[in-house]
Chains A and B, each alone.
Chain A
Amino acid sequence: MAEHLIEIIDVSKNYGSTQALNHVNLQIDKGRVVGLLGPNGSGKTTLIKVLTGLLKQYEGQILINGEKISNRSKALISYLPDQIYFDKWMKISDAVSYFKDMYEDFNEDRFNQLMSSFRVEQRSLIRKLSKGNQEKLQLALILSRDAHIYIFDEPIGGVDPVVREIILSTIMHNHQPDALIILSTHQIYDVEELFDEVIFLKQGQIVLHENTKALLKSYDKTLLDVFKEVFRDAF
């Protein structure tokens, strides 16, 4: 195992004249639950897409477990994007078959347990499920892998408080103990107890990367208040 599970070295990314990431440097270790926090447009999704190999035109270097992004690094990462990615023709059984074939670490028993707990209605075609249930299905697939790194991009965006609690609770109770969890969100309330450390991303730059307890102690405020203070002039 490399010293850091994820190492981001001086990474910048532009979309035309817009700078989405601006000289980002980060080291993140295994066994941590990391909150990637920032308002919309701060560069969270771009950073995640770079880590998962979906964006390849950037400056700088990314090392996953000491190696450049490759099919080996992708095998370590279980990634929940901020959108539904199933093909229109897919049934739930097709999605499971796909994950079983593509990922050696896919655990079908855990998938079945998660689907039972989510109470997703039994419809064969995924596109006939409600959007919320499609998101739950995607989450169940991602969490059913015994991955080294779990990356969740806005998993609680646009869901009601009950579903939000179910999703967060499921994420926190269904990952490998040594795994690294990165959870991106712009909804900061009620999440401070989840994170071992937080990263604040503002206009493509890391403005803060600290241990959550130490941060709250030094500010003597809730995470939401710290967030508001840091991002006061970002809107």
Chain B
Amino acid sequence: MLSKLIKHEFKSSYRNYLPVYVGIILVSLVMYFGLKGDSIETALYALLIAVILIIVLYVLVFVNVMKSLGERIFGHPGYLLFTVPAQTKDIVLSRVIVNFLWIVVSTLIGAIPLLLFVGYIDQVVTSSVGGEFSNLLGDFALSLIGIESDASMFDKVISVVLRVFDFLQIIAVIFIAYTVSNTIYHGDKKKLIGFIIFFALTYIVSLILGTAFFTTTEITTQYIGGEAFESYISYHTTIQKVYVLIFKLLVCGFAFVGSGYLIEKKLELE
């Protein structure tokens, strides 16, 4: 039954993603092949386009995940979903798996304009200064998926796993927020309440993860044009990454099991 639920969840969601993916790839290619010259302004235009595309993509992902875990479970389609002979855990799992895969694919698609931008900068820098700058940007691109090039293998692995849990955490918090607003809360403003719970939980989680137990903060001084600038740098040591991973594992476990429990025991489809 799980595979069938996954199949139909893909069928109901792919239309929301594929046209945007095609659009992003096309705009990215036009940007890459269309930008000429080696001025700062041209580079900034390329970066601006890449950033806008990534923002558009993530807003779309966010809205689609909310729809999948909100109105398409607790709205009218819920009549179809909750009368099929499926176990609640399969229903929950199917939504988590499909939304997780969409976030992963969207992240890969979102990396295309960024990588093309890196490629563009690489061309510019190689032709003027040399290749060193582009290596730094390559490291930056790797850091987007949580990998630092000089880190140990254990650190790299745990960083990638952490990024996976970043994605799962988004789904988990949206899921529990909408489940609570549709099962425990009995008023009319379910969407608003779901939204408030989502932001409150996200804020609480980020507050906890910002404590010294999970995050190391250092003050660094940078010299730009002869002037000193102080800035705060926050990072996780390897052991802190393990703590963060355990914490995110607990958050996701609590949210998914809690959502399943509430649907199983407290479902109130209107």
Query: Residues on A close to B: CB < 8 A?
Result: 15-16, 49, 52-57, 71-72, 74-75, 77, 79, 81, 83-87, 89-90, 94, 97-98, 101-103
Contacts and interface: CB of A to CB of B under 8 A. Distances in A.
A85 B266 CA distance: 21
A98 B8 contact: yes
Contacts of A84: 76
A87 B267 contact: no
A101 B7 contact: yes
Interface residues of B, number: 26
Contacts of A101: 4, 7-8
Contacts of A55: 267-269
Contacts of A56: 264-268
A33 to B, nearest CB: 21
B236 interface: no
B143 interface: no
Nearest to B81: A85
Interface in B7-30: 7-8, 11-12, 15
Given A52-B83, A81-B79, A103-B85, 10 more contacts: A16-B186, A54-B82, A55-B267, A57-B267, A74-B84, A85-B78, A86-B80, A97-B8, A102-B1, A102-B4
B84 A94 contact: no
Nearest to B8: A98
A49 B264 CA distance: 14
Given A86-B80, A87-B72, A102-B4, A71 B86 contact: yes
A54 B12 contact: no
A71 B78 CA distance: 15
Contacts of B234: none
A90 B7 CA distance: 14
A54 B79 contact: yes
A151 to B, nearest CB: 10
A86 B85 CA distance: 17
A87 B77 contact: yes
Contacts of B7: 101
Contacts of B15: 89
Contact of B86 (A49, A52, A94, A102): A102
